[in-house]
Structure 1
């Protein structure tokens, strides 16, 4: 029996997305494939924080899927899993407003998450 402690990553989230995660309404987190996330794997824990506050919530990573860009990610994962309150086109625009083209070119990660607790 394994006695290993899961790795915990701390990532910032905007309030609107944090609230969706904390309510259990968001099951896919979208990120650019930065070097520090390249080894993110099922079983890891992400502690989301609203930047500049002490508000946090923790999720378990269930699966990580890599896509070449955000459009392919939205098509593959379904927009309602990412943000049930926005259309696919709104989500694509919002994601691209956060991550400019040079960041998107690094690749996109769909991180399937489940709220802990």
Structure 2
């Protein structure tokens, strides 16, 4: 008999991205491939929280795809799925403002998400 309870991860998210996830319009979450995310898999649940608040929303992970860098991720996933309100160049600049070059060298994860409820 297998365990049917999904693993729940809690991750912080900036307000602008949280609102897009909560509206269901952001379907790809971008993260650096940190060791604590290395085993993230389809079926897991992510509870996004706006840091310093009680505001949360939950999504189910549909797939996780690894890319060498953020540029390759945007090409592979399509910028509109990452942030439908910003151009590709704006997104690349925003992502790199969050994650400096030494973090990007760890690899980039595209996490396909679907809002729960």
TM-score normalised by the shorter chain: which range applies?
A: over 0.9
Deviations 1:76-105 (A, max 9, x none): 000000000000000000000000000000
In the alignment of these two chains, the number of paired residues is 117
In structure 1, C-alpha distance between the alignment counterparts of 2:3 and 2:35, rounded to whole Å: 27
**1:22-41 pair list within 5 angstroms:** 22-41=22-41
In structure 1, C-alpha distance between the alignment counterparts of 2:107 and 2:44, rounded to whole Å: 20
Aligned position for 1:98:
98
Describe the SS at the equivalent of 2:43: coil
Deviations 1:41-96 (A, max 9, x none): 00000000000000000000000000000000000000000000000000000000
- Structure 2 gap segments, 5+ residues each: none
- Structure 1 gap segments, 5+ residues each: none
TM-score, length-scaled by structure 1: 0.98
Aligned position for 1:48:
48
**1:102-113 pair list within 5 angstroms:** 102-113=102-113
TM-score, length-scaled by structure 2: 0.98
Instruction: Provide the aligned C-alpha RMSD in A.
Output: 0.8
Aligned position for 1:77:
77
In structure 1, C-alpha distance between the alignment counterparts of 2:31 and 2:3, rounded to whole Å: 29
Aligned position for 2:12:
12
